Amino acid sequence: MTTDVSTYRYNHTMYRIKDPKASIKFYTEALGMKLLEEHHSEESKFSLYFLGYEDPASKGLVRLGRQGLLELTHNHGTENDADFAYNTGNGDVGGYGHIAITVDDLQAACARFDSLSVKFIKRPEEGRMKHIAFVSDPDGYRVEILENPMLRK
């Protein structure tokens, strides 16, 4: 039996989330992703939400044919527990880092995030790295924001 590694593709990253309404709102409204697919298992008490960006290369592809998706996994009931929180891997010990999103204009994107009350971890003017920002999703996962001038129209 053999396999061809040249056919392998990075498909998605999975985050466990407390409140799907808050998380989906953040990723769709603040970051502009699209909710592409969702699955609900009442018996097992969990839901999966797959988000990503639409572009000409991914138009019409099924989920397993796409690349760079975000899977949000919600275990039912966590949204009702005020004390519940997932370990995002970014605490005192660290380990996990972040996902990164490219934008056409970093300053304009940050102004838009401000208007949406997105929580900043690092603004472009803070620290030595002036070309990046970091924001936090509702569960505390970090999202790096990078400017890509090639995206400008």
Q: Convert the pLDDT of each residue in 55-92 to its tens digit.
A: 888 888 888 888 999 999 999 999 999 999 999 988 77
The question of whether 43 is a catalytic residue gets the answer no
Task: Give the C-alpha distances (Å, rounded to integers) separating 60 from 7, 64, 146.
Answer: 19, 12, 27
The pLDDT, as a whole number, for residue 90 is 84
Instruction: In whole angstroms, give the CA distance from residue 112 to residue 117.
Output: 9
The DSSP 8-state label assigned to residue 92 in this structure reads S
Query: Is residue 150 very low, low, confident or very high in pLDDT (cuts 50, 70, 90)?
Result: confident
Instruction: In whole angstroms, give the CA distance from residue 11 to residue 66.
Output: 6
Task: Give the C-alpha distances (Å, rounded to integers) separating 102 from 16, 58, 93, 147, 151.
Answer: 23, 17, 27, 6, 8
Q: Which of 29, 54, 144, 147 is catalytic?
A: 144
Please state the pTM of the whole predicted model.
Answer: 0.90
Query: Is residue 149 very low, low, confident or very high in pLDDT (cuts 50, 70, 90)?
Result: confident
